[in-house]
Structure 1
Amino acid sequence: MKVEWIRQAPQIGMLGGSRSENLLDRATALAGIGAWSCNLSDDSLSWTSGIYDLFGLPRSARIDRREIASMYAEESRIAMECLRADAIVRRRPFTMDAKIMRTDGAERWMRLTADIVCDGERPVQLYGLKQDITEERARLETLRRMAEQDPLTGLANRQIFQSRFLDCAAPMKPLGALILFDIDGFKLVNDRHGHAAGDACLQSIADRLCAGFNDALMVARIGGDEFAVLIPPGSPDRRLELRVERQLTRLSTAIHWRGDLLKVSASAGIAEVRDPYAFDAEALFAAADAALYAAKHAGRNRVRRALPEVPHACM
């Protein structure tokens, strides 16, 4: 919503006044929008009806700026106070999205727009709008998840794995190892039982990987039957290998589907990092991929471990 600000001091009152003012107040409240002002001499607030509704307060409630600020989520409150102080010093407007906790415990998002009124060079008043954007944020979050998630399994998709790991100049978090999994016998499931069975198989594999690596930085589906798991540092070499072996046993457990038992297994390649904070992601991926190839070449349903960050060198 674009707002054209008028630099003269606004006249913001409570319900009352002319019939047209009451109608405007009710209409903006219905749209989740309210006007506000703050007298800088004593921090007294004045609201229209929409802001009372946004915070879940009765319209007869006494409003205190410190109490209202405490209803902001901590990160939003800190950002708001910084922007407010900067606006007063620099005499300029600001806009931000803030998360608040209503009196009934419900979390809401609002868009706060503010400008300043001066008496000569002296700031005397802040004023602006607050708009409920909770539904807008929910829609954006849904779109974000759709863009980042594999639609079948709900795991991170190849694009996110690529952008947050392979193409990222700095690691998202300290990394211990990359594990690549490839499903053995998946094509046979598709050929014998159809793609619906194959989809059920992939969903089950994804669930088992998430359960087996609940501490993972990311579990991603990076190909048709290929998965990647990013593990934080902390597991000794042998312990991590044993953990992957146990996971392979779980992945080879038959999957019940429409009265049939779907049998698959998996092969895995592990590549560990020397420095959790500085590593070559592409070299690490190549090392894990080479280890995975070695596992499949050795007979499948097993794990192989690459030398740390040395592509194509497998144990």
Structure 2
Amino acid sequence: MKENRKKTVIKKSSVGYAQCRIIRDNNGNSVDYRFISVNDCFWQLMGLEGSVLIGKTILQIDPNTEKAWIEICGNVALSGESEQFESYSSDSGKYVETTICSTNIGEFAIIIVDITARKHLENALKESENRLIAAQKMAHVGNWELNLETKKMWASEEAFNLYGIDYTSEYISFDLARKSILPAYHDLMDQSLQNLIQQKGTYNIEFELKNQMTGELHYVHSIGSLILNDDGKPWKVSGTIQDITENKLKEEKIQKLNFYDQLTGLFNRRFYEEELIRTDKKENLPLTLLIGDVNGLKLINDSFGHDMGDALLKKAAAIIIEGCPTNAVISRIGGDEFVVLLPRTNGIEIEKMIKRIKARALIEKVGSMHISISFGYETKVREHEKIKEVFKKAEDRMYHNKLFESPSMRGKTVKTIIKTLYEKNKREEQHSHRVSKLCEEMGEALELSEIKINELKTVGLLHDIGKIAIDEKILNKPGKLTAEEQKEIERHSEIGYRILSTVNEMAEMAEFVLAHQEKWDGSGYPKGLKATKIPFESRIIAIADAYDAMTSDRVYRSKMTIKMALEELLANAGTQFDPALVDLFIKKVVLKE
């Protein structure tokens, strides 16, 4: 009865079961086996009909069965031991776990368990783990675990990679890791772990890490969580370590943008204002504020472009840095304005420092331009003094000094501009000198005062100074100018005005230069002035300028004869030129009647 129940259980089981008998050759070697009995699950897992198996040998059912498989079965039947292994059937698409065990002498059982669901789950977990590892590697995140009871720790491959250490999957002694693998960081790690264990805080640290393999420095962030045992006592710390170098560099860049001047590398206004509050303390007295202003920056920007102006500012910053002590806090707080905070520094020391800076500036140049910086300073010696008032006094002194120093600098700059223009365009130099001579002769024909004649002569020489800022390719273009190029050329009168208006004694002449391209009928530029609204001097320059242009060779045409040029002046008298001045110019200057 029990045997029948046993057979029924086996027959209906969800585990495949087969009883087999070994077939041996004359030498006693196993050469095949025959199925004695099988349950339903077995032949279903094998993908065969049950009746096909009973009484048949494995080679009759599958002639391709490997000899090794038959030998395994024979060894099991003889030894009484068992064998277990996993396999996959492409026919059924199932994973099975097979156990072969001896039952009687010369007989054995084959037990097959369908493990497809388990294998799918394992494979899914493995794939998920692989994806996690891949993601961690891409993000440079490593895992680590410290057993507080055994004092051993484990770390993932990526964690080892961050340190530049050969990977091991084994647990290693924490003391060994601290002293030999991570010697530079164990104090920081010990304190952070101690805080975590005592629940005073969390394990959350950032530090700079040197990769032991490449020697490169990295910023890393490590966090850890405390895991308690069943008794509520600290058991493990599990955490991550991540390379945050890229983010750290971005933070530093943002920090630099927040507090540094991008052009000069000095501190900016924001930093200066915050630093002034921090520095304005009793222990820093005497506290001196030194303010410097670069002379002629606008003039250089207008004449040579902002690249030259930027180069001037960078050079000025370098000169100031060189002349200041190491404890000085140097900031650029405006376009051309610098301020230096000097704690525990008195006026005598500042005077010496200014002399050093100015001496250095005298021998430095940007292109052909000299460097000039006007300074003013004030010292706070008593705690009750307001720092804003100290700054105001320093600024007032700087502007006072600038009144004397800047005009001289601007005069030198204008001379440099003229020289530079003539050096890059000899034709322009010759033209300017001829126009100057014609203007002088017009002044004499008009019986003007000597001062006025000299003024006309000078403005005739400077009327095209604004061309310093015009691209040389446009100035020397042999063909017709495009609309854009013509607009660029027309800027020269305004640029000339800006250059000359910076010099006090040339302010009036700047107005004449601005208007020398205006026309009698109001069709000129830049303002479209008409008739007598155009300055008298500008009307003279316009005639002299046009006459010389017509009677001189140009890259885009040959010169006219004097007769043709005079006819052109007369044709445009009353539209482009002042008719009365044209008549005088022809009779008294050209023909000298």
TM-score for the superposition, normalised by structure 2: 0.42
Aligned residue number for residue 52 of structure 1: 160
1:106 is aligned, of 179, 203, 216, to: 216
2:184 is aligned, of 45, 48, 71, to: 71
The runs of at least 4 consecutive aligned structure 1 residues that moved more than 6 Å come to none
1:112 positional shift: 0.8
1:237 is aligned, of 332, 337, 347, to: 347
1-structure distance, mates of 2:292, 2:318: 14
Q: Does the CA contact (< 8 Å) of 2:315 and 2:366 recur in 1?
A: no
1:91 positional shift: 7.4
The answer as to 2:303 corresponding to 1:192 is yes
1:31 positional shift: 2.5
Q: Does the CA contact (< 8 Å) of 2:279 and 2:343 recur in 1?
A: no
Structure with more strand by fraction? 1
**Helix, strand or coil for the counterpart of 1:155?**
coil
The answer as to 2:234 corresponding to 1:126 is no
2-structure distance, mates of 1:229, 1:196: 25
Q: Which runs of 5+ in 2 are unaligned?
A: 1-124, 407-593
CA RMSD of aligned residues (A): 3.0
Following superposition of structure 1 onto structure 2, how do residues 25-40 of structure 1 map, counting pairs within 5 Å? 25-40=133-148
| Letter aligned with residue 66 of structure 1 | R
After superposition, the Cα gap between the structure-2 partners of 1:125 and 1:279, relative to the gap in structure 1 and judged at 3 Å, is farther
Q: Which runs of 5+ in 1 are unaligned?
A: 1-17, 302-315
2-structure distance, mates of 1:137, 1:279: 41
The answer as to 2:379 corresponding to 1:272 is yes
**Helix, strand or coil for the counterpart of 2:198?**
helix
| Letter aligned with residue 342 of structure 2 | I
Aligned residue number for residue 306 of structure 1: none
1:108 positional shift: 1.2
1:255 is aligned, of 326, 347, 365, to: 365
Q: Does the CA contact (< 8 Å) of 1:178 and 1:228 recur in 2?
A: yes
2-structure distance, mates of 1:139, 1:174: 34
1:84 positional shift: 1.9
1:37 positional shift: 0.8
The answer as to 2:225 corresponding to 1:115 is yes
2-structure distance, mates of 1:295, 1:124: 73
**Helix, strand or coil for the counterpart of 2:265?**
coil
Residues 120-175 of structure 1, C-alpha deviation per residue, up to 9 Å, x if partnerless? 2211111111111111111111222123222222221112212222x44866x947
After superposition, the Cα gap between the structure-2 partners of 1:149 and 1:45, relative to the gap in structure 1 and judged at 3 Å, is same
| Letter aligned with residue 245 of structure 2 | T
Q: Does the CA contact (< 8 Å) of 2:145 and 2:237 recur in 1?
A: yes
Following superposition of structure 1 onto structure 2, how do residues 135-214 of structure 1 map, counting pairs within 5 Å? 135-165=246-276, 167-168=277-278, 174=284, 176-213=287-324
1-structure distance, mates of 2:386, 2:228: 55
The answer as to 2:365 corresponding to 1:221 is no
1-structure distance, mates of 2:280, 2:192: 29
1-structure distance, mates of 2:333, 2:350: 21
After superposition, the Cα gap between the structure-2 partners of 1:84 and 1:292, relative to the gap in structure 1 and judged at 3 Å, is same
Aligned residue number for residue 389 of structure 2: 283
Q: Does the CA contact (< 8 Å) of 2:145 and 2:236 recur in 1?
A: yes
Q: Does the CA contact (< 8 Å) of 1:215 and 1:232 recur in 2?
A: no
2-structure distance, mates of 1:205, 1:107: 34
2-structure distance, mates of 1:132, 1:124: 27
2-structure distance, mates of 1:42, 1:272: 65
After superposition, the Cα gap between the structure-2 partners of 1:45 and 1:196, relative to the gap in structure 1 and judged at 3 Å, is same
| Letter aligned with residue 331 of structure 2 | A
1-structure distance, mates of 2:336, 2:258: 20
2-structure distance, mates of 1:65, 1:287: 61
**Helix, strand or coil for the counterpart of 1:156?**
coil
Q: Does the CA contact (< 8 Å) of 1:92 and 1:116 recur in 2?
A: no
Q: Does the CA contact (< 8 Å) of 1:91 and 1:116 recur in 2?
A: no
1:214 positional shift: 5.4
| Letter aligned with residue 81 of structure 1 | D
Q: Does the CA contact (< 8 Å) of 2:223 and 2:239 recur in 1?
A: yes
**Helix, strand or coil for the counterpart of 1:188?**
helix
1-structure distance, mates of 2:226, 2:160: 22
Q: Does the CA contact (< 8 Å) of 1:30 and 1:50 recur in 2?
A: no
2-structure distance, mates of 1:91, 1:161: 38
Q: Does the CA contact (< 8 Å) of 1:25 and 1:49 recur in 2?
A: no
Residues 1-26 of structure 1, C-alpha deviation per residue, up to 9 Å, x if partnerless? xxxxxxxxxxxxxxxxx844455334
Residues 81-133 of structure 1, C-alpha deviation per residue, up to 9 Å, x if partnerless? 33321210127644232222221432211111110011222111111111111
Higher Cα radius of gyration: 2
1:85 is aligned, of 182, 194, 203, to: 194
2:405 is aligned, of 295, 300, 303, to: 300
| Letter aligned with residue 293 of structure 2 | D
TM-score for the superposition, normalised by structure 1: 0.75
After superposition, the Cα gap between the structure-2 partners of 1:264 and 1:23, relative to the gap in structure 1 and judged at 3 Å, is closer
1:202 positional shift: 1.0
After superposition, the Cα gap between the structure-2 partners of 1:126 and 1:91, relative to the gap in structure 1 and judged at 3 Å, is farther
Following superposition of structure 1 onto structure 2, how do residues 8-47 of structure 1 map, counting pairs within 5 Å? 19-20=126-127, 21=129, 24-47=132-155
Aligned residue number for residue 310 of structure 1: none
Q: Does the CA contact (< 8 Å) of 2:208 and 2:218 recur in 1?
A: yes
**Identity %, equivalent residues:** 25
2-structure distance, mates of 1:107, 1:232: 35
Q: Does the CA contact (< 8 Å) of 2:324 and 2:353 recur in 1?
A: no
After superposition, the Cα gap between the structure-2 partners of 1:195 and 1:184, relative to the gap in structure 1 and judged at 3 Å, is same
1:38 positional shift: 0.8
1-structure distance, mates of 2:388, 2:142: 51
**Helix, strand or coil for the counterpart of 1:90?**
coil
1:56 positional shift: 0.6
| Letter aligned with residue 263 of structure 1 | H
2-structure distance, mates of 1:254, 1:26: 57
1:225 positional shift: 0.8
Structure with more helix by fraction? 2
